[in-house]
Amino acid sequence: MKTKKVRKAPTDKIDQTGLTALVKYKDMCLLKNFGGVQGVVSAIGSCVENGIDNDAEDIAHRREACGSNTFEKLAAESFFRFAAGPFEYFTIFILVVLSVCAALSFGLITKRHGLKEGLSEVGSMFVAGLLALISANLSTFPLGRSLYKLSGVSNNSLVDVVRSGRRQQISILEVVVGDVVFLKIGDPIPADGLFLDEPSLQVDQSSMTGESDFVHVNCSENPFLFLGTKVVDGHGRMLATSVGMNTFWGEIMSLTNHDYHEQTPLQARLNNMNFLLVKVGLAVAFLVLAVSLARYFTGKTEDENGNPEFSGSQTNLEDILNAVVGIVAAAVTVVVVAIPNGLPLAVRLTLAYFRKRTLADHAILRKLSAGETMGSVTTLCTQETGTLTQSQMKVMQFWLGQDFVAVGAYASIAPNVLELIREGVAHNTTASSPTENAIRSWTVLELTMNIELESYTILHVEASNSQRKRSGVLMRKKADKTVHVHWKGAAEMILAVCSSYYDASGSTTDLNDDERIKIEQVIEGMAARSLHCIAFAHKQVPKEECFKNNGNRMLKEDSLSLLGIVGLKSPCCPGMQEAVVACRNAGVDIKMITGDNLFTAKSVATECGILRHGGQDVLDGEVVEGVEFRNYTPEERLKKLDRICVMAGSSPSDKLLLVECLKQKGHIVAVTDDGTNDPPALREAEVVLSMGIQGSKMDKENSDIIFLDDNFTSVVSALRWGRCIYYNIQKVIQFRLTVTVSSLIIISVAAISGEVPLTVFQLLWVKLVVEAMCALALASEQPTSELMEKPPVCRSEPLITNIMWRNILAQAFYQTFILLTLQINKGDSVFSIKKKVKNAFIFNTYVLCQVFNVLNARNLEKKNVFKGIKRNWLFCGMFGITIVLQAVVVEFLKGIAGTERLDGRQWFMCAALAGISGLIGCVVKLISVQKKPILGFCGV
């Protein structure tokens, strides 16, 4: 067929500003000035039938003049911007404290030991801080960069356009001004533009306006379409008038402030705890300062010769100033120890690691807080096709009236009936869903459909939606000018408007009550075998009945003749039943919400394992219809809610009502997006899950987690990882609080009684480097099967439980006892340690205590902390690297660290003392504790 040549657009004369304003403000006056929709089409050099010229030069000119259908990508986060993330809540405070500590130490040490020693001490502090920054960001920065690269995974979908008269699929990113785009139910609007066809569309603009009501779009009164919205009913064509940053959505995007460091609910809880610990640290620091000054000025402290350091007027002013500076420096050190800067970093590490690992399990975490919330989900509301069952469908049965027609026996059907079925399928299916694809495939392969679409004129189309559940087409046959109406939809809905049916001979039989009951039994029998029942009906319409309601074409919906019923089936996803059992064992209730009839829904739910057979072949769980649930009283809904497993024949409002009731009863709800019209329910749910294959671009943009394989087993994986996040963070918190509590006690007691056993560099090394490495090791722990045997994490449950406090206090008191014992001159006699290496021995023992304690933190309750450790190579690597770095500091950086080299025997004794913490960890886990929080701030 010869294609009409499309003239190229005068791209230098296109008024893009005017086109943008036309749609943005829905300006009908401006549209009239353009000459209507057809005038806009001509102005931008396009054609309603043939689209733009499929010429690379013309397309390039359009892209240059009117922009490309892309958005300005956010700049990748720099290392230094990322570096500020872990410390964003305490950055200024830490810098002030470290500066004060460095200044005091520099002044004191320079006065006593000279400038060289002073510079060495200050330099050690800055080296420790730099190492902390590098260790924190070398682990998280690559993850952040990889997530930046993944940001566009779900954005490059395909759309149908016509260019040079040929329909073709292109990337949504390649749409240019002037393109004629084909739209159908579920499609995102790929650009701002104008609707071109007569049948109206219903569009969900909730992403733009926040309103859940759908907007009717037609060619005459409201032809305006916006990028970022979605078709929920109807089909047709649109003209793209603005793309990318020139669209209304692009304007919104340009005004949006993007936050790299999304704060999750768990991080908010940790911040409250962090500020509380800072207050405790300040209080202890002031106490240390007050007691130390009091002891000094009352003559209770002694110098190296055993004489009182302060002797009233006999002590010169310089010695007093030196002593006061040393006391203040010790107090500042207490504050440095108390600052829990590592906890926000721990959460950041865990969430970043989770985000990367879930990608390997075919899931993209778009919203960090969703990773945490998945661990608390108690109810999962899911649709059927594409999640519980596979997206591919196939026609399994065909019934003609009451007669079953076997595969391969279609030749026995009268030719006129076959021709009517072919006509109905050819003109009343859009191949926009797995169901319609399966019907078209069946008609082509089994019924040898080869209809010339040009032999009919389409007069009117009624698109299917979730309420009507049927679609119709009114068409005129060009050969004899006869007018026919074809309907297709849910079998029970079509049967209700039929008054007769065709038999195999091609004649029609009236549908009396007995005949209707028999066909209803056929439909119920098919549904009981998990078959989706789709019926076809037909009627020849007199011309005078085609126009009613002031000339608008209307489709006849009564006195139709039933053509036939097909039964389609989509098999359950592999591993579906095992996944449902895993969810149930984890305390997660699954509720299937579907628009299918009661029998089909019950059959599919039973096959997938959502409905189980109890005693005497009774189903364990209730199946209700949407209208039934809707008509319950509020009290009845809440009473029956937990028993309901399946809601059949449901509408979007029924789904929303179910989610609202679940939340009212205290459930944490996750909802899978079915890709059509569920914005209200999705906004109400805590977590929105979408499918990467079946879901549209907008579905993915509005979701929290995208499953790339459309498989329910991936949902189970997300639940497991969500719980892993929570428990890994609890492990990190226990480990870090152990270090904080022990350090605080050690420094406080030692500062009051005498010399502090650890230098500022050593404290910073433990707090900022050793902690960071060990936290990364704990954050990398893999999900275990035990996680799915525990109930969902309750949001009201304390973040720091009594079990954690038991473990923290036991380890902290042991570490305090060991270090203070060594400090109070007991090391020389007990371990034959020379005085000059005692500081290195104490420092090394303390660090190794933390290294062994990270093993204790791998399991908060069970004694076997080595289970599964071989599978976590990252944990083993961090464990080994920490020990190696500690050996380097002790053996080779004595000038900076203030240590002396240790021999093999001393290393063994350090390791033995630290290893006892493992034995203590096993013993204290035998002590049972009550669940109710003992301490007031346990519940943060």
Structure tokens at 508: 């029609």
Other CB atoms within a 10 A radius of the CB of residue 293 amount to: 15
Residue 207 pLDDT:
58
Q: Give exposure, 782-799, as e/b (b: 16+ Cβ within 10 Å).
A: ebbeebbeeebbeeeebb
Are 877 and 768 in contact by the 8 Å Cβ rule? The answer is: no
- Beta strands 687-691 and 669-672 are parallel
Residue 595 pLDDT:
78
Rounded to whole angstroms, the Cα distance separating 714 from 362 reads 7
What pTM, to 2 d.p., does this model score?
0.65
Torsion region of 621: left, alpha or beta (phi above 0 gives left; psi -120 to 50 gives alpha): left
Question: Same domain, yes or no, for 326 and 242?
Answer: no
Q: Give exposure, 858-883, as e/b (b: 16+ Cβ within 10 Å).
A: bbbeeeebeeeeeebeebeebbeebe
Reference 155, options 80, 223, 71; nearest CA is 71
In a domain, 354, yes or no: no
Residue 534 pLDDT:
92
Strand runs labelled E in 547-588: 547-548, 552-553, 560-569
Domain range for 671 is 363-390+573-710
* Order of strands, sheet of 215-217, starting from the edge strand that comes earlier in the sequence: 215-217, 201-204, 230-233
Question: Same domain, yes or no, for 808 and 914?
Answer: yes
Question: Same domain, yes or no, for 140 and 246?
Answer: no
Residue 829 pLDDT:
54
Rounded to whole angstroms, the Cα distance separating 549 from 134 reads 74
Q: Angle at which helices 873-892 and 835-856 pack, to 10 degrees?
A: 170
Are 854 and 777 in contact by the 8 Å Cβ rule? The answer is: yes
Please give the tally of structural domains in the chain.
Answer: 6
Residue 650 pLDDT:
82
Question: Same domain, yes or no, for 565 and 468?
Answer: yes
Q: Containing H/E element for 830? A: helix 827-831
Residue 562 pLDDT:
94
Structure tokens at 16: 């893009």
User: Rounded to the nearest 5 degrees, what angle is found at the Cα of 458, between the Cα atoms of 455 and 464?
Assistant: 130
- Choose the most confident range, by mean pLDDT, from 484-498, 520-534, 646-660: 484-498
Phi/psi of residue 371, nearest 5 degrees = -60, -40
- As beta bridge partners, residue 171 has 158
Q: How confident is the model at residue 253 (pLDDT cuts 50, 70, 90)?
A: low
Question: Same domain, yes or no, for 62 and 193?
Answer: yes
Give the mean pLDDT of 874-893. Answer: 86
Question: Same domain, yes or no, for 184 and 234?
Answer: yes
Question: Same domain, yes or no, for 565 and 577?
Answer: no
Whether the pLDDT of residue 572 is over 90: the answer is no
* Domain final residue pick, 515, 549, 569: 569
CATH code of residue 638: 3.40.50.1000
Identity of the residue numbered 17: T
Structure tokens at 498: 């039929």
Mean pLDDT of the residues in the chain: 77
Question: Same domain, yes or no, for 599 and 577?
Answer: yes
- DSSP readout, 336-395? HHH--THHHHHHHHHHHHHHHHHHHTTEEE--HHHHHHHTT--EEEE-SBTTTB-S--EE
Whether the pLDDT of residue 258 is over 50: the answer is no
Residue 700 pLDDT:
65
Residue with more model confidence, 77 or 387: 387
Whether the pLDDT of residue 832 is over 90: the answer is no
SS3 content of the chain, % helix, strand, coil (to 5): 55, 15, 30
Question: Same domain, yes or no, for 702 and 740?
Answer: no
Residue 445 pLDDT:
84
| Residue the block writes with tokens 């049927």 | 470
- The region of weakest confidence among 123-132, 426-435, 800-809 is 123-132
| Residue the block writes with tokens 């240790």 | 902
CA dihedral 397, 400, 403, 409 (to 10 degrees): -60
Tally of residues, the chain: 940
Instruction: Encode 472-538 in three state secondary structure.
Output: EEEEEECCCCCEEEEEEEEHHHHHHCEEEEECCCCCEEECCHHHHHHHHHHHHHHHHCCCEEEEEEE
Compute the Cα dihedral for 556, 557, 558, 559 and give only its sign: positive
Rounded to whole angstroms, the Cα distance separating 626 from 730 reads 41
Q: How confident is the model at residue 175 (pLDDT cuts 50, 70, 90)?
A: very high
CATH code of residue 755: 1.20.1110.10
Phi/psi of residue 484, nearest 5 degrees = -130, 150
* Domain final residue pick, 546, 569, 592: 569
- DSSP readout, 236-295? EEEEEEE-GGGSHHHHHHHHPPP-SSPPPHHHHHHHHHHHHHHHHHHHHHHHHHHHHHHH
Whether the pLDDT of residue 83 is over 50: the answer is no
Compute the Cα dihedral for 893, 898, 901, 904 and give only its sign: negative
Q: How confident is the model at residue 240 (pLDDT cuts 50, 70, 90)?
A: very high
Q: How confident is the model at residue 140 (pLDDT cuts 50, 70, 90)?
A: very low
In a domain, 308, yes or no: yes
Are 472 and 485 in contact by the 8 Å Cβ rule? The answer is: yes
- Report helix, strand or coil for 771: helix
In a domain, 349, yes or no: no
- Report helix, strand or coil for 541: strand
What Å distances lie between residue 654 and 309, 489, 631, CA to CA? Answer: 81, 21, 10
Whether the pLDDT of residue 528 is over 70: the answer is yes
Other CB atoms within a 10 A radius of the CB of residue 290 amount to: 13
Whether the pLDDT of residue 616 is over 50: the answer is no
- The region of weakest confidence among 85-99, 228-242, 732-746 is 85-99
Are 572 and 389 in contact by the 8 Å Cβ rule? The answer is: yes
Identity of the residue numbered 633: T
Instruction: Write the pLDDT tens digit of every residue in 274-324.
Output: 777 778 888 888 888 888 888 888 877 776 666 777 777 777 777 777 777
Q: How confident is the model at residue 531 (pLDDT cuts 50, 70, 90)?
A: confident
Instruction: Write the pLDDT tens digit of every residue in 323-357.
Output: 777 677 677 777 767 766 556 666 666 676 677 77
Compute the Cα dihedral for 781, 785, 786, 791 and give only its sign: positive
% of the chain at pLDDT higher than 70 = 74
Give the mean pLDDT of 35-58. Answer: 90
Instruction: Write the pLDDT tens digit of every residue in 895-919.
Output: 666 678 888 888 999 999 999 988 8
In a domain, 225, yes or no: yes
CA dihedral 347, 351, 352, 357 (to 10 degrees): 140
Residue with more model confidence, 890 or 329: 890
Instruction: Write the pLDDT tens digit of every residue in 349-381.
Output: 667 667 777 777 777 777 777 877 888 899 998
Are 693 and 391 in contact by the 8 Å Cβ rule? The answer is: yes
Question: Same domain, yes or no, for 586 and 650?
Answer: yes
Whether the pLDDT of residue 146 is over 50: the answer is no
Q: Give exposure, 420-430, as e/b (b: 16+ Cβ within 10 Å).
A: bbbbbbbbbbb
Other CB atoms within a 10 A radius of the CB of residue 350 amount to: 27
Instruction: Write the pLDDT tens digit of every residue in 577-595.
Output: 888 888 888 899 999 888 7
Whether the pLDDT of residue 107 is over 70: the answer is no
In a domain, 344, yes or no: no
Residue 292 pLDDT:
82
Q: Give exposure, 154-183, as e/b (b: 16+ Cβ within 10 Å).
A: beebebebbbbbeeeebebbbbbbbbbbbb
Residue with more model confidence, 427 or 130: 427
Q: Containing H/E element for 621? A: none
Are 43 and 236 in contact by the 8 Å Cβ rule? The answer is: no
Question: Same domain, yes or no, for 843 and 894?
Answer: yes
Residues in contact with 844: Cβ distance below 8 Å, sequence separation at least 6, in sequence order = 886, 890, 899, 902, 906, 907, 910
Question: Same domain, yes or no, for 698 and 809?
Answer: no
In a domain, 840, yes or no: yes
Give the mean pLDDT of 649-670. Answer: 87
- Report helix, strand or coil for 21: helix
Are 862 and 925 in contact by the 8 Å Cβ rule? The answer is: yes
Reference 490, options 533, 531, 529, 530; nearest CA is 533
Rounded to whole angstroms, the Cα distance separating 311 from 215 reads 88
In a domain, 83, yes or no: yes
* Domain final residue pick, 130, 151, 172: 151
Tell me whether residue 841 is exposed, middle or buried, using C-beta atoms within 10 angstroms of its C-beta: 0 to 12, 13 to 18, 19 or more: buried
In a domain, 27, yes or no: yes
- The region of weakest confidence among 501-505, 597-601, 651-655, 768-772 is 768-772
Q: How confident is the model at residue 135 (pLDDT cuts 50, 70, 90)?
A: very low
Residue 168 pLDDT:
92
Are 502 and 485 in contact by the 8 Å Cβ rule? The answer is: no
Instruction: Write the pLDDT tens digit of every residue in 686-734.
Output: 888 877 666 655 566 667 888 877 777 788 888 888 888 888 888 888 8
CATH code of residue 159: 2.70.150.10
Rounded to whole angstroms, the Cα distance separating 700 from 688 reads 9
Rounded to whole angstroms, the Cα distance separating 658 from 630 reads 9
- As beta bridge partners, residue 75 has none
